[in-house]
């Protein structure tokens, strides 16, 4: 499926936002306005609105969510485009696993978990709505993203 980069970016950032909200992390804002280093951004606030069982896993799920949402839309993973996220994921998985083999195994498991989370009706419907809003307005508040998430519950 051929999709323009702006739409892919909107889904990427919406994926980050929806999984962040799902694991209890508040969002400051989401944008598809490019800068020198990225095509968009999902700014996750510090702190939580619900307790975490595993903060490191939550962070990895949030990081994987962008490329996973893109792949759900386009049918392919753009690992090169998600390079920054992947470097952060590798740092986190290595800190937990200790060696590259176990880190890669952990990454496969958490990517699968991210894909599963995005499959829920609430999550995917919210990704689609956030992406559509981003394509219209370019930037939305975390409060707006949370409102869309809660509407789809």
The dihedrals phi and psi of 50, each to the nearest 5 degrees, come to -150, 150
| Crossing angle between the packed helical segments 5-22 and 121-137, to the nearest 10 degrees | 130
State yes or no: is 13 an active-site residue. Answer: yes
For residues 13 and 62, the answer to whether their CB atoms sit within 8 Å is no
Ordered structural domains, the chain, with CATH: 5-151 (1.20.58.760)
Question: In which band, very low, low, confident or very high, does the pLDDT at 153 lie, cut at 50, 70 and 90?
Answer: confident
Portion of the chain with pLDDT greater than 90, in percent: 84
User: How many C-beta atoms lie closer than 10 Å to residue 102's C-beta?
Assistant: 13
DSSP state for residue 106 in the 8-state scheme: H
For residues 144 and 137, the answer to whether their CB atoms sit within 8 Å is no
Choose, from 2, 13, 43, 136, the residue flagged as catalytic: 13
Global pTM reads: 0.94
Summarize pLDDT for 64-99 with one digit per residue, the tens.
999 999 999 999 999 998 999 999 999 999 999 999
Summarize pLDDT for 27-65 with one digit per residue, the tens.
999 999 988 888 899 999 887 777 778 999 999 999 999
In the prediction, which pLDDT does 2 show? 67
Q: Which residues of 53-65 are buried (b: 16+ CB within 10 A; e: fewer)?
A: eeeebbbbbbbbb
- For the segment 91-116, the average pLDDT, to the nearest whole number, is 96
For residues 18 and 127, the answer to whether their CB atoms sit within 8 Å is yes
In the prediction, which pLDDT does 1 show? 55
């Amino acid at each position: 499926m051929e999709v323009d980069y702006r739409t892919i970016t909107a889904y990427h950032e919406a994926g980050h936002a929806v999984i962040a909200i799902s694991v209890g992390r508040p969002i400051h804002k989401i944008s598809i306005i490019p800068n020198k280093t990225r095509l968009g951004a999902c700014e996750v606030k510090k702190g939580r609105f619900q307790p975490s069982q595993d903060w490191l896993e939550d962070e990895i799920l949030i990081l994987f969510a962008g490329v996973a949402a893109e792949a759900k839309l386009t049918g392919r993973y753009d690992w090169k485009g998600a390079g920054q996220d992947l470097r952060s994921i590798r740092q986190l998985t290595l800190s937990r696993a200790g060696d590259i083999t176990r880190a890669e195994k952990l990454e496969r498991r958490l990517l699968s978990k991210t894909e599963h989370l995005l499959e829920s009706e609430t999550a995917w419907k919210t990704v689609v709505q956030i992406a559509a809003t981003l394509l219209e307005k370019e930037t939305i508040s975390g409060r707006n993203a949370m409102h869309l998430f809660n509407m789809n519950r």
